[in-house]
Amino acid sequence: MKFAIWGFQSDKEIAKHVAEIIDKLISGGHEVYILDSFSDLLQLNHPKVNSIPENRIPTDVDFIISIGGDGTLLSAAQAVMRTPIPILGINLGSLGFLTSLERDWRSEFENILNGHYHIEDRMVLNCRLEFPDGSEETLWALNDVVIERAEVFSLLPLEVRVGDKLLNHYLADGLIISTPTGSTAYALSAGGPIIDPSLEAILITPISPHTLSVRPVVLTGEENIHINLSPEADHARLHVDGKDSRVIDPSIKIRIRPSSYRIQLVVLPNNTFYEKLRKKLHWGRRSS
C-alpha cells in the first residue's frame, strides 16, 4: 500500500511519532511519501521516503496520514478535495473531533493496516464568489465558511436568501455556514446545535447577533444560499475552514451550496461519532 504523511508542525513528540510510523510502514513493505515542507521541519532524511509538494500527491495513494489536530486534517482535506483519497487523522493536538487515533495510536494503527476500519463520506460546501467584472472564484469547505466583521467596533449587516426566498437580514459579528462535520467546530462555540455528520444538512449560525431572538437555522443539504453584504458594511473577511482568508466587500456576491465532492475519513468501528462526543465533551462526568 501507499501512504502519504501530512503535517505542518514539528517538535520532539511529533518527530518521535512520525519516525515510528515510518518505521512501521517501511518494515511492512509499504511505500511512503511525506509532505516536503513537513519533511524539512522534521529534518527527515530517510532513503526510502519520498518528499512531495502538497499539490503533487500521487492519485494512487491509499491513505493520507494527518499528524496533528483538526486543523492539520482540514488542510489535508483541501489538498485531496478533487481526489477521493481517505484521510487517517492521528491527534497530537487538543480536541481532535475529526481524527480517529490519539497519542496511543499503535495498536489501532495495526488494526487499520489489517483492514479493520471503515470509510465515512463527509459533506463539503461549495462557496462561489462572483465579482463585479463577471469573474468567479470557487472555494470548498469541509467544516465551514465564516463571514465576519472586519472592524472591531462595528456590526456586520448581511442579507441571506435560501434559493429565492429571504431568510433574514442579519446584524451580527458575523455568520457561520457549516456542514454537519463543522457543527462541532466554530458553530458549536457560537451556540449552534450538534448535527450527526452522516446527515446532508447546512447549518447557519449567527455570531453574537444584535437581536437575541435570532437563532441558528438548519437547512436541508440541497439548498443554495445567497449572501450579500449590505452597502453600509464597507468590507468584511471570509474564511474557509479557518485557513483560506480574504477581504470581501458588498460588490461581491456569495453563493454557498452542497458540493459534489466528498471527503473520506478513516473511522474505527469502536470510535463512533457519539463516542467522541461523550469523550471529547466530557458528557456524563460529574464536576469535582
| Strand partners of residue 148 | 174, 237
60 burial (CB, 10 Å; 0-12 / 13-18 / 19+) is exposed
Annotation says 70 is catalytic? yes
Place of cell 518494515: 27
* Given the residues 11, 23, 70, 234, the one annotated as active site: 70
Catalytic positions: 70
